[in-house]
Amino acid sequence: MDEKVYELSKIMEKMTPELLTIGPIPISTTVFYQWLAMLVLFTLVFVATRNIQKKPKGAQTVVELLIGFIYSLSDPALGKEGRKFLPLLGSLFMFILTMNLLWFIPNAMPPTTDLSTTLGLALGTIVTLNIIGIKTNGLGGHLKHFAQPPALTPLNVIEELVKPVSLSLRLFGNMFGEKVAVTILFILIPILIPTPVMMLGVLMGCIQAFVFTLLTVTYLSQAVHGH
């Protein structure tokens, strides 16, 4: 019992990214698992896009289902012209989903349980969307979006500044909380109870990747079409 109490007292240390050393180069586990997620995705994409046929089968079927899913998110807000943003939206969804599910590797820390990862994703996404808005409507046209209506200009600007915070905290909070809950259950009841909670974690990981992508579509629609 005392051993479990001691382990619980050290729970936050278990949730802190550690440093790994590859030769003389120290890297954090957050960076390591991000690169692992990218390697997994590159491998899957390479395999799935070999020998593409008119009648899909096998891995190609999965890819086409994923493309259809992304279109189902973007078409209502952006129309078919928004399909040109598939690389951005599809990459975001698959990258976040892969990182969320890395916690099934023993002792692995999903990068999305680190606020620096989710904040980096959110900032990169919002900056990219503003660049798209400028390319689509010109700098003047894009800035006019924040003055629709003029009386709400300050609120529109504040909303734009808050978007990265909202995106990052939502993803980080849900994934971090899930990881903490499973870690505590493994300490207290290491055999039976954690398994269904981990299955719930799969659902949570999918939902959070979906929510991040859906919000990106919403913000992209605002950047292209205005507030």
Query: pLDDT of 113-136, one tens digit each?
Result: 888 999 999 999 999 999 999 999
Residue 10 has pLDDT above 60, yes or no: no
Specify the number of domains making up the chain. Answer: 1
Rounded-to-integer distance, Cα 190 and Cα 182, Å: 10
Percent of the chain surpassing pLDDT 70: 85
Taking Cα atoms as reference points, which of 135, 187, 152 lies closest to residue 15?
187
Cis peptide before 24 (omega within 30 of 0): no
Length reported for the chain: 227
How large is the average pLDDT for residues 155-162?
A: 90
> What confidence category does residue 2 fall into, taking pLDDT thresholds of 50, 70 and 90?
low
Q: Which domain holds residue 35?
A: 2-225
Q: What is the pLDDT of residue 194?
A: 57
Three-state DSSP at 26 gives strand
How large is the average pLDDT for residues 172-191?
A: 76
- Using the Cα atoms of residue 12, residue 15, residue 19 and residue 21 in order, give the sign of their dihedral: positive
Q: Which of 45-49, 65-69, 195-199 has the highest mean pLDDT?
A: 65-69
> What confidence category does residue 182 fall into, taking pLDDT thresholds of 50, 70 and 90?
confident
Taking Cα atoms as reference points, which of 33, 178, 154 lies closest to residue 98?
33
Torsion angles phi and psi, residue 200, rounded to 5? -65, -30
